[in-house]
Chain A
């Protein structure tokens, strides 16, 4: 049942996550202007991490109020999902005010991405419901129906509990529990090819490190990129080893990438969206996984039989990140 969303909406303590499927500039502004204006009027920090065109549009409609709006070009506000989450958390950390919620317009870039990247961003949209839960943030994610593929628009209704139409809040009946959504998206990484270099299973960190270094150097990485690749593999392996597991490694190359598959035959806790929150002051078992994720082009962590599998894609030779 649609409801009118006003200044008093979404004032619960936690994270509120809505989509907005718009088909014209007017529809975008019908949602964005009252959302921003009401937030600013309530003294809330408001961020628009949207396309440059949408920023310009919004500024034009806000008039003098635009001076109080924080803006970021969405393409630079986290190139990959793990960076996007960090960007949200950093904005919250830097601008939060006691007793006040904050508002964010967050429009991902969907065009020009590979199918793998689109799937990762969809999963992240779902994951935000878990990762930002508890933060006093009202986030609306605009989807430009003139630009996004149909499957992306469809996914928006599965990854957001509700969507905005102007000021009206419409529940998304297809909204999926985030863990179930991720589980339902199927295997994320293809298994290692038979010709991949192998190590283990081993419980020795030093053996993992030497193997990682040897393969990274063999793939033509040097200097900083070599060291970061070794660190990524070691931190991912460390996550599995910390659970008392032994890890088998496979390494192989694809054009532009060096891939690593880390497999543990023993059970290992792998919560959905593990390793998306940056390390804080207190240590967390997922810290190393976050670093591995941040240093990789992509990282897939999933259950494999009774055990767990982590697959990292690291930028290889010829890849200019």
Chain B
């Protein structure tokens, strides 16, 4: 059950961004010194991002450290299983470590931020000595939350972490399950991070970026869709074809969309309708909305036209 954490507008000392404005970073673009949050709403969303986090760490020769709450994986193999990774190139061989948060609790069962931070500092130092590029930390700290006191403790930890990691010795992704906490607390946790992490793009070319989104389920499409890039859009749409329920395509950063690209969206809408659900196009530039209506495609089964976006 979610519990009340903070009142509206309540300011927590140490907040990095009191207004909650953060830059998004793709998980594959994380660099040492980054301290990012992941607010996830489904196991699928977390698994997808965690998978890229682990693969990115192995690729960059980082030491990977997972802070495990009670429900979390007990060891590296279980962690890979959670990421839906069956094997990793070169094997684990000490490159992935799982540490239980229970080791940093006081006798009363409270998390001790300073003790955890000391340990992380040492772990980062050891990683460098062992030849790793950096220490790469992830964990679902929100899983350890019990009450408002824990929220404040966790925010202290986040503040310490932000200061510690800005030196560039380590990077961290702090996961919070939005199903387990109230919006005000989530805002506070999010505000304690300079960046929020999202899945690596399904498509990343010079002209087109397509990112899987989870809340709501769908895609964010940015850039240009023309004859050269239609196949990328088709592939990206296939990746959400199996989504149960409605899909939203966020299109406010689409600079150009040709008729062939529009047709792909209409074909996708009809496929949605066949599954008794819809696709909503949100943030379309007004002229694209006008073209859809001109052709008569605004009546396409399964299609919903959301708010348009100003030029």
Q: How far is the CA of A287 from the CA of B226 in the complex (A)?
A: 14
Q: Determine whether the beta carbon of B207 is less than 8 Å from that of A206.
A: yes
Q: Of A90, A222, A238, A295, which is within 8 A of B258 by CB?
A: A238
Instruction: Kindly identify which residue among B228, B256, B311 contacts A223, using a CB–CB cutoff of 8 Å.
Output: B311
Query: Given A228-B287, A291-B295, are A241 and B311 neighbors across the interface (CB < 8 Å)?
Result: no
**Whole-angstrom CA separation of A130 from B146 in the bound complex:** 75
A120 adjacent to chain B (CB < 8 Å): no
**Complex interface: chain B residues within 8 A of A224 (CB):** 286-287, 290, 311
Contact, CB under 8 Å: A90 / B296: yes
* Nearest chain A residue, comparing its CB with the CB of B296: A278
**Option from A90, A209, A231, A234 in Cβ contact (under 8 Å) with B287:** A231
B42 interface contact, C-beta 8 A: no
Q: Say whether B263 contacts A231, CB under 8 Å.
A: no
Q: Are A238 and B227 in contact (CB under 8 A)?
A: yes
Measured CB to CB, the closest approach of chain B to A277, in angstroms, equals: 11
Contacts of B242 in A (CB 8 A): none
Per the bound structure, the CA–CA distance linking A279 and B259 in Å amounts to 9
Whether B294 is near chain A, meaning CB under 8 Å from some CB there, is: yes
The answer to whether the Cβ of A294 comes within 8 Å of any Cβ in the partner chain is yes
Q: How would residues 226 to 257 of chain B score, 1 for a CB under 8 Å from any chain A CB and 0 otherwise?
A: 11100000000000000000000000000010
B291 within 8 A of A: yes
Q: Does A139 contact B (CB under 8 A)?
A: no
The answer to whether A205 touches B227 (Cβ under 8 A) is: yes
Q: Judge whether B258 and A234 touch: CB under 8 Å.
A: yes
Does A227 interact with chain B (Cβ within 8 Å)? yes
Write out the residue numbers on chain A whose beta carbons fall within 8 Å of the beta carbon of B285: 227
Q: Are A279 and B263 in contact (CB under 8 A)?
A: yes
Question: Using a CB-CB cutoff of 8 Å, which residues 277-299 of chain A contact chain B?
Answer: 278-279, 283, 287-288, 291, 294-295
Q: Which residue of B lies closest to A235 (CB)?
A: B259
Residues of chain A lying within 8 A (CB to CB) of residue B295: 278-279, 291
Which residue of A90, A205, A283, A294 is within 8 Å of B228 (Cβ)? A205
**A219-257 interface mask toward B, CB cutoff 8 Å, 1 = contact, 0 = none?**
000111001101100110010011000000000000000
Contact status A294-B294, CB under 8 Å = yes
| CB-based nearest B residue for A204 | B228
In angstroms, Cα B287 to Cα A222, docked, is 12
Are B207 and A231 closer than 8 Å at their CB atoms? no
- Chain A, range 199-221, C-beta contacts under 8 Å to B: 205-206, 209
Interface size class of A (residues with CB under 8 A): 20 to 34
Which of B258, B259, B263, B290 has the most C-beta atoms of chain A within 10 angstroms of its own C-beta? B259
Q: Which residues of A contact B287 (CB under 8 A)?
A: 224, 227-228, 231
Q: Given the complex, which residues of A lie within 8 Å of B291, measured CB to CB? A: 228, 231, 291, 295
Chain A residues with CB below 8 A from B286, complex form: 224
Contact A206 B228, CB 8 Å, known A223-B311, A230-B256, A279-B263: yes
Write the chain B residue with the least CB distance to A213: B256
Q: Contacts of A227 on B, CB cut-off 8 Å?
A: 285, 287-288, 311
Q: In the complex the two chains form, what is the Cα distance from A282 to B266 in whole Å?
A: 11
Of A90, A205, A242, A295, which contacts B226 at CB under 8 A? A205
Interface 1/0 per residue, B270-293 and A, CB below 8 Å: 000000000000000111101100
User: Which residues of A are found within 8 Å of B296, using beta-carbon distances?
Assistant: 90, 278
Give the Cβ gap from A88 to chain B, nearest Cβ, in Å. Answer: 14
Chain A residues contacting B224 (CB-CB under 8 Å) are 206, 209
Q: What A residues does B227 contact at CB under 8 A?
A: 205, 238, 241-242
B223 to chain A, nearest CB (A): 11
Q: Is the CB of B258 within 8 A of A231?
A: yes
A209, B290: Cβ atoms closer than 8 Å: no
Within the assembled complex, what's the spacing in Å between the Cα atoms of A258 and B311? 21
Residues of A contacting B256 in the complex (Cβ-Cβ under 8 angstroms) = 209, 230-231, 234
What residue of chain B has the Cβ atom nearest to residue A205's Cβ?
B226
Q: Which of B259, B288, B311 contacts A287 (CB 8 A)?
A: B259
Contacts of A294 in B (CB 8 A): 294
Residues of A97-123 contacting chain B, CB below 8 A: none
- Cα of A227 to Cα of B285 in the assembled complex, Å: 9
Q: Give the Cβ gap from A229 to chain B, nearest Cβ, in Å.
A: 10
Residue of A nearest to B297 (CB): A279
- Closest-by-CB residue of A relative to B228 is A205
* 1/0 contact string of A289-316 vs chain B (CB within 8 Å): 0010011000000000000000000000
Chain A minimum-CB-distance residue to B206 = A206
Task: Please state if B226 and A283 are interface contacts (CB–CB under 8 Å).
Answer: no
Residues of B within 8 A of A205 (CB): 226-228
* Alpha-carbon distance A234/B285, docked complex (angstroms): 17
Min CB–CB distance B308 → chain A (angstroms): 10
Closest to A209 in B: B256
Q: How far is the CA of A67 from the CA of B2 in the complex (A)?
A: 63
Bound-state CA distance A231–B254 (Å) is 13
CA distance A241 to B290 in the complex (A): 25
5 residue pairs A–B, Cβ–Cβ below 8 Å: A206-B224, A224-B311, A227-B287, A242-B227, A291-B291
Further 12 A-B residue pairs, CB within 8 A, beyond A238-B227, A279-B259: A90-B296, A206-B207, A209-B256, A222-B311, A231-B258, A234-B258, A235-B259, A238-B259, A241-B227, A279-B297, A291-B294, A294-B294
User: Which residues of chain A have a CB within 8 Å of any CB of chain B?
Assistant: 90, 205-206, 209, 222-224, 227-228, 230-231, 234-235, 238, 241-242, 278-279, 283, 287-288, 291, 294-295
The 7 closest A-B pairs by CB, nearest first: A227-B287, A224-B287, A223-B311, A205-B226, A228-B287, A291-B259, A288-B259
